[in-house]
Amino acid sequence: MIQLLVALTIAGSAMTIPDNPCPAGWQYIMADVRAGEGTVDAVAGRLRVDAASLAAWNDMAPHSPVDAGRRIFFCRDHRASSVGYAWRGQLRGGVNIDANGDGRGCGWVKAADRVNTWGTSETVASLSDCLCRYRIQHPQAPDISLGDLSRRTGGRLSRHVSHRSGRDVDLGYITNPPQTDGRFSSRASLANLDDEKQWSLLKCFIDRGNVRFIFMSWQALTSLRAYVESVPEFRSYLRYFPRGERPLLVNDPSHKNHIHIRFTCPVGDPNCLDR
């Protein structure tokens, strides 16, 4: 039973406010039952909450009738979360990698018109770590062009099938000559990909252990595979290439001028879904 702690007068009628039953990080919300709803199940459907939970939060029996105008209370999860799938989801409590809005960071630069740079805290932490390690390992190398992550609240993003739940990011290839002005201004090829620098960056992401896929063009994969095969200490990573034991690196012909990295669901996030 919910403890009734306080009595208030709202809109001319006395009512009681129950103790907050919501878990930490959830929002406690008040709503009125609408005419025609009639049951706990109908109200729960409108509020998009579990009917049994709604009944428990309001000290009612499950599936019981409820009068129009009754004031009820419910909980909504507002914890930071990658909600749903990468291609059909939303982002809650995201982090902007370009927090100060200057378009630059450690090892990266973006075009001024790119504003959808929000991701989960885990996505932004992984990006920041590996891009900054790239800068430290290659102090004279060009900044990497940063593309889209997600909108602030996730959801559909123009020109993208995915990028909807804060777990996707596009990065320009490291080429000679380099891409410029934070744009994907050149395609990767066998002749222009800087294999050493490109591999040092991708190896960092793989080593962190939270990458789901890395989508690249066949030309970039072919060049990079030849480099990895040529260095004995890297050959164990061939299992991550196409036809390997655990193919994280995926051929995708739509990624000729940039790499698309998708991260796994954050540990402990119950709302995140993946195949």
Dig out the tokens for 246 from the structure.
């655990």
In tens, the pLDDT along 90-103 reads 999 999 999 999 99
Number of CB atoms found within 10 A of residue 179's CB = 23
Q: Is the pLDDT reported for residue 12 higher than 60? A: no
Q: Which of 166, 84, 85, 81 minimizes the C-alpha distance to 118? A: 166
Q: Give yes or no for residue 20 having a pLDDT over 90.
A: no
| Confidence label for 11 from pLDDT (cuts 50, 70 and 90) | very low
Whether the predicted pLDDT of 15 surpasses 90 = no
Structure confidence at residue 81 (pLDDT): 94
Bridge-based pairing state of the strands 104-105 and 108-109? antiparallel
Residue closest to 184 by CA, chosen among 263, 260, 95, 96:
260
Confidence of residue 104 (pLDDT cuts 50, 70, 90): very high
Q: Among all chains, which residue has been given the structure tokens 């996730």?
A: 154
Please report the pLDDT score of residue 13 as a whole number.
Answer: 46
pTM of the model: 0.79
Pairing label, strands 249-251, 95-96: unpaired
Q: Is 40 helix (H, G, I), strand (E, B) or coil?
A: helix
Domains, the chain: 4-77 (no CATH), 83-263 (3.30.1380.10)
pLDDT at 122: 96
Q: Terminal CA-to-CA distance of the chain, rounded, Å? A: 40
Break the chain down into helix, strand, coil percent, rounded to 5.
25, 25, 50
| Distance from C-alpha of 143 to C-alpha of 226, rounded to nearest angstrom | 24
47-74 mean pLDDT? 91
Between 51-65, 85-99, 137-151, 209-223, the lowest mean confidence (pLDDT) is in: 51-65
Judge residue 27's burial from the number of C-beta atoms within 10 Å of its C-beta, 0-12 exposed, 13-18 middle, 19 or more buried: exposed
pLDDT of residue 140: 95
Find how far residue 17's CA is from the centre of its chain.
36
Q: What percent of the chain has pLDDT over 90?
A: 80
Whole-number pLDDT of residue 21: 76
Q: Is the pLDDT of residue 2 over 90?
A: no
Binned at pLDDT 50, 70 and 90, residue 18 comes out as: low
Which one-letter amino acid corresponds to residue 237? Answer: Y
Residue partners of 115: CB distance under 8 A and separation at least 6:
none
Looking at residue 17, its pLDDT comes to: 56
Which are the contacts of 140, defined by CB distance < 8 A and separation ≥ 6? none
Query: What sign does the CA torsion over 201, 184, 147, 242 have?
Result: negative
Tell me the pLDDT band of 233, cut-offs 50, 70 and 90.
very high
User: In one letter, which amino acid is 268?
Assistant: G
